[in-house]
């Protein structure tokens, strides 16, 4: 008999096919598990797969008395109550670095698209306004990349890959993180200093209680009216209401966002702006990063069911 694994978050089925060949997947499809499965069905479950950002507290864990492993699909694990898991000796694993290149790519895509107003430009062609030579204030020339100051907040694997990419555009790259790294970029001593210094702030910091709403109205004001913010980390790192206000009153020039406060929802006030570029949390959504993340999930589950430590534990 195959081992049972609870699928806690909502994942497209295609992503779970390979894992389903080896395990019996019990798919809660993003709903509370007790709405889908009986207490008896949950009683057997020893391992679960979750998206790291999905809230997962002691209450859910306690529905599964035999639960021994929480496996996050992706790098993040900010939704998991690590203390509650530790208390019950539940191991927590993730997919470190598996999607780093893919996430860094989307960060640069959002950065370029927002600063060069790609969506406005594409619409200017498709609407016929270009052919009609219709004047458009949104089409005025903007600053390009050369000489731009790009601030990267967080210098983990994703932050380093973002920095390497944007540096190739003849930019100046600066960063802030808790500690200095051996990287060829200017270190700024605080997030405040980074926001003052840069014209594009790219958020690549790990989400957690210490970074909750750390990009607030004050940071956005420091970024300034020519500034852009790009977020590929977690929605929780930005105070989303402050961001909406800063966009509405032109405290900043624009934004590129892959993550939001409450997913899968981008608020209507945000989707009404022409100077933002919005993607539906697809940073890690490439063929090769899904394969790499699945590799990590399979390795974590195999190790757990063999009674060994997880292959990719959250440290």
Two structure tokens written together for 293: 């993340």
**In the complex, minimum distance from the CB of residue 226 to its own copies, in angstroms, rounded to a whole number:** 10
Q: Return residues touching its own copies (CB under 8 A).
A: 10, 14, 101-102, 105-106, 108-109, 112-113, 116, 118-119, 121-122, 124-126, 130-131, 133, 139-147, 161, 164-165, 167-170, 264-266, 271, 277-280, 282, 285-290
**In the complex, minimum distance from the CB of residue 132 to its own copies, in angstroms, rounded to a whole number:** 9
**In the complex, minimum distance from the CB of residue 244 to its own copies, in angstroms, rounded to a whole number:** 15
Tell me if residue 234 is catalytic.
yes
Query: Which among 247, 283, 308 is positioned nearest to 75, based on CA atoms?
Result: 283
Active-site residue, selected from the candidate residues 117, 281, 290, 312: 281
Tell me if residue 146 is catalytic.
no
For residues 85-114, b (16+ Cβ closer than 10 Å) or e, as one string? beeeebbbbbbbbbbbbbbbbbbbbbbbbb
Active-site residue, selected from the candidate residues 116, 213, 221, 263: 263
Residue 1 or residue 287: which is nearer to its own copies going by CB?
Answer: 287
Beta-carbon neighbour count of residue 77 at 10 Å? Answer: 25
Cα angle 217, 222, 178; round to 5:
85
**In the complex, minimum distance from the CB of residue 130 to its own copies, in angstroms, rounded to a whole number:** 4
Residue 143 or residue 248: which is nearer to its own copies going by CB?
Answer: 143
Tell me if residue 206 is catalytic.
no
Active-site residue, selected from the candidate residues 46, 148, 234, 290: 234
Residue 40 or residue 128: which is nearer to its own copies going by CB?
Answer: 128
228 vs 2: CA distance, rounded Å: 50
DSSP 77-117: -TTB-HHHHHHTT-EEE--TTTTHHHHHHHHHHHHHHHHTT
105 vs 47: CA distance, rounded Å: 32
Catalytic residues: 234, 263, 281
């Amino acid at each position: 008999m195959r081992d049972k694994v609870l699928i806690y978050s909502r994942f497209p089925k295609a992503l779970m096919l390979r894992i389903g060949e080896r395990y019996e997947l019990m798919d809660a499809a993003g709903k509370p598990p007790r709405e889908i499965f009986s207490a008896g069905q949950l009683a057997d479950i020893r391992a679960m797969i979750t998206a790291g950002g999905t809230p997962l507290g002691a209450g859910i864990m306690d529905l599964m008395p035999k639960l021994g492993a929480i496996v996050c699909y992706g790098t993040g694990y900010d939704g998991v109550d690590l203390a509650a898991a530790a208390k019950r000796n539940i191991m927590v694993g993730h997919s470190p670095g598996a999607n780093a290149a893919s996430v860094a790519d989307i960060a640069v895509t959002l950065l370029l698209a927002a600063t060069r107003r790609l969506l406005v430009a594409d619409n200017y062609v498709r609407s016929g306004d270009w052919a009609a030579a219709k004047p458009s204030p949104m089409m005025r020339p903007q600053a390009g990349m050369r000489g731009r100051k790009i601030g990267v907040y967080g210098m983990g694997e994703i932050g380093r890959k973002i920095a390497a990419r944007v540096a190739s555009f003849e930019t100046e790259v600066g960063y802030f993180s808790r500690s200095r790294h051996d990287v060829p970029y200017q270190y700024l001593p605080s997030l405040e200093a980074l926001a003052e210094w840069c014209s594009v702030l790219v958020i690549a910091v790990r989400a957690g209680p210490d970074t909750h709403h750390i990009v607030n109205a004050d940071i956005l004001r420091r970024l300034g009216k020519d500034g852009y913010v790009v977020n590929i980390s977690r929605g929780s790192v930005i105070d989303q209401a402050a961001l909406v206000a800063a966009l509405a009153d032109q405290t900043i020039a624009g934004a590129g966002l892959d993550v939001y406060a409450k997913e899968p929802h981008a608020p209507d006030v945000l989707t009404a702006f022409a100077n933002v570029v919005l993607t539906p949390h697809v940073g890690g959504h490439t063929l090769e990063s899904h394969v790499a993340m699945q590799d990590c999930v399979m390795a974590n589950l195999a190790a757990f069911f063999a009674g060994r430590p997880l292959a990719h534990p959250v440290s």
